Chain A
Amino acid sequence: MNLRRLCLFPVLFLSISNICNAASPKEAFVKSVVKQCKISKEEAMKLVSPGRTGTVITFKLCPQKTMTLKNGCIITCGKEGASL
């Protein structure tokens, strides 16, 4: 049983859907990596790195337009509040 399934069980049980839902910065990062780098979700999960300078929060805050991931893929982020 992987972590996500493990996570899902108590989430349903305790109705804390906001913690594991798709809107989290990590899920948003993984989703974008899958789409932009054309790799599997499992591969994308390996590119997640923690911390203030890690990939997830850098992608969310988007201080730079592009990020080069450790597999060489270049992804483009969008600044929140900069589009109509």
Chain B
Amino acid sequence: MSLRNIILLMTLGILSTATLANSSAEEKIKELEARLEALEYKSYESIATLNGSVKHTSVFFNLKDNAANTTDKYKRFKKHVISSKIDLNARPSDDVFLNTRLSMKKFWYNQAYESSDSKYYADKLTFGESRQGVTPSDSTVYMERVFIQWSFVPTWTLTIGRLPLSGGSPKGIMEGAPEDAPFHKFTMSEVNDGASLSKKHNLTNGDSLKFTLAYLPWGTFNVDTGSRITDSSYKDKSTDNQGVAVDTSDPIYIFITDYKTRNFSWVREFNFSFQYAKWFDVFLGPPASSNLRSSVDRHTWTFDLLGIVGSKFDLNFAYTHSETESSGAFAGGGLFCSQTATETCKVKGDAFMAIANYRATDKWGFGYLFLKNSSHNLLFDNDMDLGYILFMSPGGVNHIGYTNYRFNTYLTGALSLTMAKIKKRYAVSNLIGTEEDVDYNIDGLKFSLTARF
């Protein structure tokens, strides 16, 4: 019997008692009351919801080194990845929200060597990935997110913990999925711990305006987690390779303004976002071999024009400009420059992204993404969803054609083709250290199948 029926029956019961004053009806009401109370307590128990996704991704790509001799000219890569995310959300009271996300991601492989050959997964046991259960070394569980949100005053929200920062736009557009993070990938796409404060204004005409300030300190690893309090548990700061103390955490601030409206006649929905990120002397690299500190000023503007003139055609634009100042060096340079430990350098860069998206039917969409990135602009996607297909182009351009199809409400397939040109390469993570001019062409194909629940 549904809740509505129970309530209806009770209402009828209540009304009938007024006229009949019948003792059997009163007993019936009491019985219903007891059942409803049991249901009520059951609903208080079930405050948590469990949802998530399982995703398979295959990537095939060819790299053509135009400057190399014929034997090294072509490299081919083929990778299959399985990933899973399990979100446990709870809203124990109206003003408190909790999220915990467990996640895993691995390439398809079974055999790994405890070998010095870095091409193998040297940290795994031989055949370690063929076991049932994890490699029996420790009890590690990967918590991708874990945070508390508290709306201590209506419209004000404080978020603290390991924050939802990876998986932002434009990933969702290409895969027909909702965005998984509040920032555009130009601003930040990595998992960070920190805190944020946001204020949302619901305007009288239905528009919304939101301001967010996030503090995401870049933590450096000189905290001893010893089991008892001794002098060594409270280590002094580490020193870099020039003997200068390294701060345990360097501040990164991000400020966002989001505006959403459905009140324009020429577009179904219009979203605008301005995102400003500022890094203050963030230490990069292991202290024993680095004294690199970088400050970054980044301004990003994004525009979403969804359902233009009543059609199913969407346009998304994003532009970012960054100024990066590095002092010291790691692996032969700073961020996007070659330099020594005593030098400083300042570089500027920008990137532009445009997406034309068409939803041919409610199930099927396709589109085209264009990305142009200058050599010295900081784009870093640590989404680990084979994101290099998107941001592989310092000093180059990237063309991506994509399509996605919804087989049913909870199962989606996505396919994308990439053509990229790369003009620069850097020693560490393609961001830091010695700068090298290259001439690469990359053609790639990516396929994914995602089931959500």
Interface residues of chain A, those whose CB is within 8 Å of chain B, are 3, 6-7, 9-11, 13-14, 16, 18-19, 23, 35-36, 38, 52-53, 58, 61-68, 74, 76-84
- A6-B8, A81-B99, A82-B167 are known contacts; what are 20 more A-B pairs with Cβ within 8 Å? A6-B11, A7-B4, A10-B11, A13-B14, A14-B36, A16-B36, A18-B40, A53-B408, A63-B178, A63-B410, A64-B412, A65-B173, A67-B362, A79-B178, A80-B89, A81-B87, A81-B97, A81-B145, A84-B157, A84-B196
Give Cα A77–Cα B172 distance, bound, in whole angstroms: 12
**Contact: A64 with B176, CB < 8 Å?**
yes
Q: Is B43 a contact of A65 with CB atoms below 8 Å?
A: no
B338 interface hit (Cβ, 8 Å): no
Residues of B whose CB lies within 8 Å of any CB of A are 3-4, 7-8, 10-11, 14, 33, 36, 40, 43-44, 49, 51, 87, 89, 91, 94, 97, 99, 101, 145, 157, 159, 163-164, 167, 172-173, 176-182, 196, 198, 206, 212, 214, 262, 268-269, 306-307, 359, 362, 406, 408-410, 412, 452-453
Q: Is the CB of B7 within 8 A of A84?
A: no
Q: Complex: how many Å from CA A62 to CA B172?
A: 12
State the CA gap A14–B32 with chains docked (Å): 11
Judge whether A63 and B452 touch: CB under 8 Å: yes
A51 to B183, CA, bound (A): 33
A80 and B164 CA atoms in complex are apart in Å by 11
A83 to chain B, nearest CB (A): 5
Q: Kindly state the separation between the CA atoms of A79 and B51 in the bound complex, as whole angstroms.
A: 11
B43 touches A18 (CB 8 A): yes
A82 adjacent to B182 (CB under 8 Å): yes
Question: Can you offer 9 A-B residue contacts whose CB atoms are under 8 A?
Answer: A9-B14, A14-B36, A63-B410, A65-B179, A68-B362, A79-B180, A80-B89, A81-B87, A81-B164
Q: Give the CA-CA distance A68 to B91 in the complex, in Å.
A: 28
Which 8 A-B pairs give the minimum distances between C-beta atoms? Answer: A81-B99, A63-B452, A79-B178, A68-B362, A84-B196, A65-B178, A53-B409, A83-B182
Tell me how far the C-beta of A19 lies from the nearest C-beta in chain B, rounded to whole angstroms.
Answer: 6
Q: How far, in angstroms, from A40 to B98 measured CA to CA in the complex?
A: 33
B91 to nearest A CB, angstroms? 8
- Which residue of A7, A19, A67, A76 contacts B40 across the interface (Cβ within 8 Å)? A19
Known contacts A9-B11, A13-B14, A14-B33: does B40 contact A35 (CB below 8 Å)?
no
Contact partners of B3 in chain A: CB under 8 A: 19
